[in-house]
Amino acid sequence: MISICPVMAASLLTCKSPPEPHDFRKLPEQFADEQVTEPLIALEAFRDESDFYVRYRAAEGIIYTGGNWNQRIQLTEIQAAETYAGPYTLPLQYRQREAWTDIPKQRVMFRILGQNEWNLFRDQILASVMPKEVSGGLVLHFYVDDYFLYYDGAGELRTTLLQDKPADQPILAYMDFSEFFRRGAPVLEEFFALRGISERDILFNTGDVGAYSLPFLYVNRDLPMAVFARHEPTPRQESSAGRAMAYLQTAGHVAQSHLLGIALRPFSSISRLFFVSLDRVREAAKPDWLVELEATPIPPVSTSSGMNLDAWEEELDELTGRKSSKGTIEYLVDGEEFFPRLIDTLSSANDSIHLRTYIFDNDDFAEKIGRILKRRSNEGVDVKLLFDGLGTIISTIEEQPSLPDEWAAPASVRRFLQTDSRIRVRQAPNPWLTGDHVKVITIDHRIAFTGGMNIAREYRYDWHDLMMEVHGPVVDILQHEFQKAWAYAGPFGDLGYLLRWIEPTAAKAENEGYPVRVLFTRLEDPEIFKAQLRAIRSAKRYIYVENAYFTDDAMLYELVKARKRGVDVRVIMPLVTDRGAITRNNALAANAMLRHGIRIFVYPGMSHVKAAVFDGWACLGSANWDKWSLSINNELNLATSHPETVESLLKQVFEPDLARSVELTEPFPERWSDFLLEMMGDYIF
């Protein structure tokens, strides 16, 4: 099988007989942090079964380097793979001025090609997605990083990490490395054939310079693998997190939320205690609502037209006490779409970045976002970051399975963000363990993002989730909501919130779009719950719901009643959630819905999407279908009946998710302990 192995690699790992530390001739500063200002020119390169070696010329002279590549790359797995295996990444570990003393006798020499050949090949691949004549560049996702490739003013290709993207270079296209590989393989083989190159191991000099530059490209024409290497950043010198510290932070934050909260937020703290206690009393006293529906037959799915959406919007005006706003919604599905777009807008912000999230984690990806925010704050952009204190602290205790083994997390997210930056950071308090579950980012008062994603690596790489990019006057509402939440978390507490609440909403966003409604969950007014409950009762044709947490019995009851009216009810949920007890709650809920004729689709993996469509009315955002989101925590959803926008949600999310999910035909096994967990499940977050 002919394949390319683009290894934009300077040199790679440890040599077969690595020199002792005192033998290294350390070059100025740390190699990882050096700004490469002149191209590195490979003069000689070869490999054996486990190691490879590169001799190159740099500004300071001749450098020798090499690495043990099979510590991370298993050739047997690659040879057995039917498709491209990888990509792989290897950090640069050493370089020296002395020649190697232990060179393998059996070695494969590399054919070295110059920068001109690389430029010709590179331009052939990139011409279709990023022509030189157009300002902008390509995001290339590789392993755990996104690279930004663009042409500078002189027409030279530049490569940088996406988080360091120049503000004046917009993103023109996104490409996963597998797609880059697919496009590049035939182009490369044709390139070699035209030049009569028969060697199987090739090393290009790319001429790339700058921080994190990719100066070499290694091509193996026999193995379907790709190996990248770059100048790795110096490990952080800050203290790392430990579980003991996280538990202390949790205890301290909870105590502060209550003791200090009573002083700064007396009205909201007391009212939250009242509403939370009242809700628990109501929940304990509820009957088993589904029993009465057992004898009701399950009718065929109705073919009638859906509800009158104009009348429905008027009903919502009455329910919420206000008219819809106006705006546009674009769906960003999964971290692969959302985070590059977010980074693009963060990099080009001119005035302000206001970020409100439930979790700002301490993992490797959250740190990348944090460093962008720190850089932009130091460049004069007004950066405010508000995260839920308890949600963030608890998340830092948990570790995602995909987290790199070598990752050392900062001990304090807040301290990391504030160190060497002008970011203003506030933690939302958690009186009586209630939380601020809203995720809204506003940029320059003209663009907003909202939905289900927090700032953490699982949302970028591991989970299925959904965000919306929003423009138009609805952005003004989201900005005003941020200002109120920011004031509430500040030193004036309730008073600060009141002053922001009576302040009129500033009109700064562009006046564009169609009707878009903002819905909230607040303790005193659970709009999201009431609106969706009434939508279920009003639906005549279909209800599609995708959510990870189904523990609210009132919503479950109404879904069953809708199905007994002939409504086509379909629910997408993950088999396993990030909360073990909720997973068992979901199993019981799925069994109950299946028993009453609702179609249940089990998503393969963790779906964190929170969206529903009722006869052409869409409602989606941060709210789960559990007691916390529908009655207790702060939540924010957007809703619209705009036909094209609803149709896009169905085509971009529901149709593909239904297709990739497995429909449940038999109930999940039930255990006696599930019912005990179900009694507590509504209050597990």
- The rounded percent of the chain whose pLDDT value lies above 70 is 76
Task: Specify if 619 maps to a domain.
Answer: yes
* Residue where a domain stops, chosen among 512, 540, 570: 512
d(CA 249, CA 362): 14
15 — pLDDT class (breaks 50, 70, 90): very low
Largest CA distance in the chain: 86
Determine the distance from the C-alpha atom of residue 351 to the mean position of all C-alpha atoms in its chain, rounded to a whole number.
24
Query: How do beta strands 51-58 and 61-68 pair?
Result: antiparallel
Backbone φ and ψ for 197, nearest 5 degrees, come out as: -90, 115
d(CA 539, CA 593): 17
pLDDT over 60 (residue 6): no
d(CA 631, CA 523): 6
CB 517 within 8 A of CB 624: no
pLDDT over 70 (residue 675): no
- From the list 112, 214, 75, 102, the residue with the least C-alpha distance to 158 is 214
Verify that 31 and 155 share a domain, yes or no: yes
Verify that 247 and 112 share a domain, yes or no: no
Verify that 223 and 130 share a domain, yes or no: yes
**Residue 346 in tokens:** 């963060």
| Residue pLDDT, tens place only, 304-337 | 899 999 999 999 999 999 999 999 999 999 999 9
d(CA 199, CA 492): 71
| 3-state helix/strand/coil string of 38-103 | CCCEEEEEEECCCEEEEEEEECCEEEEEEEEHHHCCCHHHHHHCCCCEEEEEEECCCCECCCCCCC
Task: Specify if 307 maps to a domain.
Answer: no
Within a 10 A sphere around the Cβ of 501, how many other Cβ atoms? 12
Coil/strand/helix, residue 468: strand
Within a 10 A sphere around the Cβ of 301, how many other Cβ atoms? 14
**pLDDT (average), residues 174-185:** 77
92 — pLDDT class (breaks 50, 70, 90): low
**pLDDT (average), residues 174-194:** 81
- Using alpha carbons only, what angle is made at residue 240 by residues 234 and 245, rounded to the nearest 5 degrees? 170
d(CA 72, CA 193): 31
Supply the mean pLDDT for the chain.
81
Residues with Cβ within 8 Å of 225's Cβ and at least 6 positions away in sequence, in order, are 3, 5, 73, 78, 84, 85, 86, 88
DSSP 341-382: HHHHHHHH-SSEEEEEES-B--SHHHHHHHHHHHHHHHTT-E
Q: What is the pLDDT of residue 57?
A: 92
Verify that 268 and 206 share a domain, yes or no: no
pLDDT over 50 (residue 9): no
**Residue 122 in tokens:** 């590179």
Task: Specify if 300 maps to a domain.
Answer: no
**pLDDT (average), residues 602-627:** 95
Task: Specify if 16 maps to a domain.
Answer: no
d(CA 85, CA 398): 30
| Residue pLDDT, tens place only, 469-485 | 999 999 999 999 999 99
| Residue pLDDT, tens place only, 375-405 | 999 999 999 999 998 888 888 777 777 777 6
d(CA 573, CA 609): 9
| 3-state helix/strand/coil string of 630-679 | HHHCEEEEEEECCHHHHHHHHHHHHHHHHHHCEECCCCCCCCHHHHHHHH
d(CA 611, CA 452): 9
Verify that 247 and 391 share a domain, yes or no: yes
* Crossing angle of helices 389-397 and 243-264, rounded to 10°: 170
**Residue 323 in tokens:** 């008219």
pLDDT over 80 (residue 285): no
Can you tell me which residue has the tokens 């790199």? 404
| Residue pLDDT, tens place only, 417-458 | 999 999 999 998 877 778 899 999 999 999 999 999 999 999
d(CA 385, CA 383): 7
| Residue pLDDT, tens place only, 214-235 | 778 888 888 766 666 565 544 4
Task: Specify if 7 maps to a domain.
Answer: no
Verify that 247 and 224 share a domain, yes or no: no
- The rounded percent of the chain whose pLDDT value lies above 90 is 45
Q: pTM of the entire structure?
A: 0.79
132 — pLDDT class (breaks 50, 70, 90): confident
* Residue where a domain stops, chosen among 485, 512, 539: 512
Determine what percent of the chain falls in helix, strand and coil, rounding each to the nearest 5: 40, 25, 35
**Residue 376 in tokens:** 């932009």
Q: Return the H-helix or E-strand segment holding 227.
A: strand 225-230
Task: Specify if 45 maps to a domain.
Answer: yes
| Residue pLDDT, tens place only, 344-367 | 999 999 999 999 999 999 998 999
Q: What is the pLDDT of residue 29?
A: 29
d(CA 448, CA 332): 12
Within a 10 A sphere around the Cβ of 167, how many other Cβ atoms? 13
12 — pLDDT class (breaks 50, 70, 90): very low
Q: Return the H-helix or E-strand segment holding 243.
A: helix 243-264
Residue range of the domain that includes 528: 520-681
d(CA 559, CA 569): 7
Q: What is the pLDDT of residue 678?
A: 56
ω into 299 cis (within 30 of 0):
no
d(CA 264, CA 1): 69
Determine the distance from the C-alpha atom of residue 255 to the mean position of all C-alpha atoms in its chain, rounded to a whole number.
31
Verify that 344 and 406 share a domain, yes or no: yes
DSSP 403-456: S-TT---BS-HHHHHHTTS--EEEEEP-GGG--B---EEEETTTEEEEES--BS
**What stretches of 438-575 show up as alpha helix (H) in DSSP?**
457, 474-488, 493-502, 527-538, 553-564
Q: Render the burial of 140-156: b for 16+ CB within 10 Å, e for the rest.
A: bbbeebbbbbbbeeeee
Task: Specify if 12 maps to a domain.
Answer: no
Verify that 613 and 486 share a domain, yes or no: no
pLDDT over 50 (residue 510): yes
**pLDDT (average), residues 557-586:** 84
**Residue 149 in tokens:** 């490739």
Q: What is the pLDDT of residue 18?
A: 31
The torsion of the CA quartet 415, 420, 424, 430, rounded to 10 degrees, works out to -10
Helix (DSSP H) and strand (DSSP E) numbers for the chain? 20, 29
Within a 10 A sphere around the Cβ of 239, how many other Cβ atoms? 14
> How many structural domains does the chain have?
3
289 — pLDDT class (breaks 50, 70, 90): low
CB 308 within 8 A of CB 317: no
Coil/strand/helix, residue 462: helix
pLDDT over 70 (residue 279): no
* 576 vs 521 pLDDT, higher one: 521
**Residue 480 in tokens:** 């005003």
d(CA 654, CA 614): 12
pLDDT over 50 (residue 3): no
16 — pLDDT class (breaks 50, 70, 90): very low
Verify that 610 and 498 share a domain, yes or no: no
Q: What is the pLDDT of residue 30?
A: 32
pLDDT over 80 (residue 75): no
Verify that 497 and 532 share a domain, yes or no: no
- Burial class of residue 81 in the structure, from the number of CB atoms within 10 Å of its CB (0-12 exposed, 13-18 middle, 19+ buried): middle
* 189 vs 15 pLDDT, higher one: 189
Q: What is the CATH number of the domain that holds 281?
A: 3.30.870.10
Can you tell me which residue has the tokens 């797995």? 77
- Burial class of residue 344 in the structure, from the number of CB atoms within 10 Å of its CB (0-12 exposed, 13-18 middle, 19+ buried): middle
Verify that 525 and 574 share a domain, yes or no: yes
d(CA 180, CA 177): 5
CB 184 within 8 A of CB 219: no
Verify that 562 and 428 share a domain, yes or no: no
* Residue where a domain stops, chosen among 473, 490, 512: 512
- Using alpha carbons only, what angle is made at residue 217 by residues 213 and 221, rounded to the nearest 5 degrees? 160
Task: Specify if 578 maps to a domain.
Answer: yes
* Range of lowest pLDDT (251-255, 408-412, 673-677): 673-677
pLDDT over 50 (residue 552): yes
**pLDDT (average), residues 54-72:** 84
d(CA 131, CA 360): 37
Determine the distance from the C-alpha atom of residue 527 to the mean position of all C-alpha atoms in its chain, rounded to a whole number.
27
Which of 230-239, 273-282, 517-526 ranks highest by mean pLDDT?
517-526
